[in-house]
Structure 1
Amino acid sequence: MKDNQHEQLFTELTAEFEAPAFNELDDEFAATIGGGANIEFYDTNDFQQLLGSFDFGGKSELINNDKISSIIVRGGFWRLYEDVDYEGYAQTYGPGSYVLNSQLNNEVSSFIQVG
């Protein structure tokens, strides 16, 4: 198709649905559907100092033990544990950005994807 035919088709689709036919994806959502790590760990509450990113669970040897302050979950549901071997206090997180609560802040020693 020529460019003007694409523009006409786009205009017709937009008018038919009374909304844009295509929407821009924000970076976080695009990463979720486009691949990349499912969880990212940060040393600070402002998501500036990346410690590591993973597509699978792990123990303290894969991350800086007791250093995680915030996380971004891009896909799935993840359970973070206070102790190694998936024991102790745990909290489950779904997609989103989180500053960890006082029981997990700088205390995470293992983690696993649970959904």
Structure 2
Amino acid sequence: MDNDIYGHVNNVVYYSYFDTVINRYLIQEGGLDPWNGEVIGVCAESSCRYRAAFAFPEDIEAGLRVARLGGRSVTYEIGLFKAGREEAGAEGRFVHVFVPRGDMTTAVAIPEQIRAALAKLQAG
């Protein structure tokens, strides 16, 4: 899954990067337990604007912020950067809706510990 036939990271891999950046933050800062927690976040919407190609084994840095923090959902903005560069090579948008693990159809309130961690990332 590194480089595709055109010699760069394939577009679908960017979404995996977004997911990794978001969930790493939620686990480390928000106390999310993706394996046993009662509430999980599921992706309701995502998009990416590609500005520059990445290629393995190039280092990629990521930035994460919260564009909108609702009662049951959050909209993230993610920037992927070539190491040391200030201009994003890709800009992502990702919406999480929080649901009970056993019923992934009914949105619930964002757990307080996760909400507090997300509030730290609110764009301002």
- Structure scoring higher RCO (CA < 8 A, sep ≥ 6) equals 2
Fold conserved between structures, TM > 0.5:
no
Structure 1 length-normalised TM: 0.25
Per the normalisation by structure 2, the TM-score is 0.23
Q: Which of these two proteins has the greater Rg computed from alpha carbons?
A: 1
